[in-house]
């Protein structure tokens, strides 16, 4: 009986803690990421360490001028860390993602072919999230009996321009500019289902050293995301994901380019807990409509290790 009660307690804890996992953005172009469970609760003081791999092929939307016939492939190793916080009595989270990317392929620019083979660190992503409603700051003992209803949250993600960048090349891993992405989102539990939605805008600083000394500016890029998540017994969950983003028109040396983005992406995610400390996640997505030709396919996996807060 004691063992049965312990197994039941451990199963509930695995389910609760796994739901508060650190999400990995689903693409190097984080405005296009599809990330379920961005707004969830986790015990205060818990730490998350993630190692992951992502592969993309197609018109990956790096910081380039409009390219046609893109045939680009990337392989990215991702390392992430997050910590659950108590922000004035409500739960929050700080996380950082650091990618390293290998890129190769070809495209057409101004009627001529270009090729690129490069690898290097990408721009790190820093984010602070706060759950404004429905997710109080809890310790591990209190969290074991927590049941989500409606969560409303907000976050700010910052891309730091320290990745690989060559001013003489069109295609680079880094962007040589700052990006700021404020977002607001909500998550609602309906039986075994969790429905999520969010709205974000990505703001860009000017790149004064773009491709042979040009000056490049970009309008804000707006995005909406939706997720339908099914929660299985024992902490596993699967998600159907969608995102739409529009805007992002660029200006080169004062001349407005014809590169307005209006793109759709669909994807799916599967997360499987291994034990209280470990879980693994598989995810995939593809562009189903891309006005500017930067649709791409993505496949990825991530391993997460959790510790702290008395776990």
Predicted local distance difference test score (pLDDT) of residue 288:
82
Give 227-242 pLDDT, tens digit per residue.
Answer: 999 999 888 999 999 9
Tell me which range, 95-109, 217-231, 269-283, 289-303, is most confidently predicted by mean pLDDT: 217-231
Task: Say what the pLDDT of residue 276 is.
Answer: 84
pLDDT of residue 109 exceeding 90: no
- Of the two residues 106 and 197, the one the predictor is more confident about is 197
- Residue 228: in which H helix or E strand, if any? strand 221-231
pLDDT digits 0-9 by tens, 149-194: 999 999 999 999 999 999 999 889 999 999 999 999 999 999 999 9
pLDDT above 60 for 84: yes
Residue 190 CA from chain centroid, whole number: 24
Mean pLDDT for the chain overall: 86
Q: Do 157 and 181 contact (CB within 8 A), yes or no?
A: yes
Instruction: Report the distance separating Cα 263 and Cα 148, nearest Å.
Output: 32
**Lowest mean pLDDT, pick from 60-64, 253-257, 307-311:** 60-64
- CATH code of the domain containing 105: 2.40.128.130
Name the residue among 127, 122, 101 with its Cα closest to residue 23.
127
286 and 27 Cβ atoms separated by less than 8 Å: no
If you ran DSSP here, which 8-state letter would residue 122 be given?
-
- Check whether 133 has a pLDDT greater than 80: yes
Residue 45's pLDDT band, with cuts at 50, 70 and 90, is very high
Nearest to 183 by CA among 158, 161, 160: 158
Cβ contact 150:134 at 8 Å: yes
Q: Is 90 exceeded by the pLDDT of residue 144?
A: no
Rounded Cα distance between 222 and 201, Å, is 4
Q: What's the rounded Cα separation, in Å, for the pair 94 and 130? A: 9
What pLDDT sits at residue 153? 97
In the chain, how many domains are there? 1
Domain with 44 in it: 2-307
Does pLDDT of 32 surpass 90? no
- Non-local CB neighbours of 240 within 8 Å, separated by 6+ positions: 227, 228, 266, 267, 268
**Higher-pLDDT residue of 294, 221:** 221
DSSP alpha helices (H): ranges in 158-212? none
DSSP state of 136: B
């Amino acid at each position: 009986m004691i063992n049965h009660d312990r197994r039941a307690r451990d199963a509930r804890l695995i389910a609760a803690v796994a739901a508060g996992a650190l999400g990995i953005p689903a693409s190097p172009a984080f405005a296009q990421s599809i990330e379920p469970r961005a707004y969830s609760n986790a015990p205060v003081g818990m730490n998350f360490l993630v190692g992951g791999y992502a592969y993309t092929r197609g018109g990956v939307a790096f910081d380039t001028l409009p390219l046609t016939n893109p045939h680009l492939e990337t392989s990215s190793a991702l390392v992430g860390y997050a910590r659950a916080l108590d922000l004035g009595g409500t739960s929050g989270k700080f996380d950082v993602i650091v990618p390293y990317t290998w890129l190769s392929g070809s495209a057409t620019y101004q009627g001529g072919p270009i090729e690129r083979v490069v690898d290097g660190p990408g721009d790190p992503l820093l984010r602070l999230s706060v759950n404004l409603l429905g997710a109080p700051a809890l310790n591990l003992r209190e969290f074991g009996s927590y049941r989500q209803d409606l969560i409303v949250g907000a976050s700010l993600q910052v891309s730091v321009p320290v990745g690989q960048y060559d001013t003489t090349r069109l295609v680079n891993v880094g962007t040589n500019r700052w990006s700021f992405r404020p977002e607001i989102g909500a998550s609602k539990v309906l039986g075994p289902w969790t429905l999520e939605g969010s709205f974000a805008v990505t703001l860009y600083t000017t790149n004064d050293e773009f491709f042979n000394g040009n000056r490049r500016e970009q309008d804000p890029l707006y995005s909406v995301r939706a997720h339908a998540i099914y929660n299985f017994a024992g902490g596993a969950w699967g998600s159907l994901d969608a995102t739409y983003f529009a805007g992002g028109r660029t200006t080169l040396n004062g001349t407005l380019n014809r590169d307005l983005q209006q793109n759709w992406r669909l994807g799916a995610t599967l997360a499987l807990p291994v034990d209280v400390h470990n879980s693994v996640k598989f995810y995939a997505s593809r562009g189903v409509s891309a006005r500017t030709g930067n649709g791409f396919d993505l496949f990825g996996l991530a391993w997460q290790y959790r510790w702290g807060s008395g776990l």
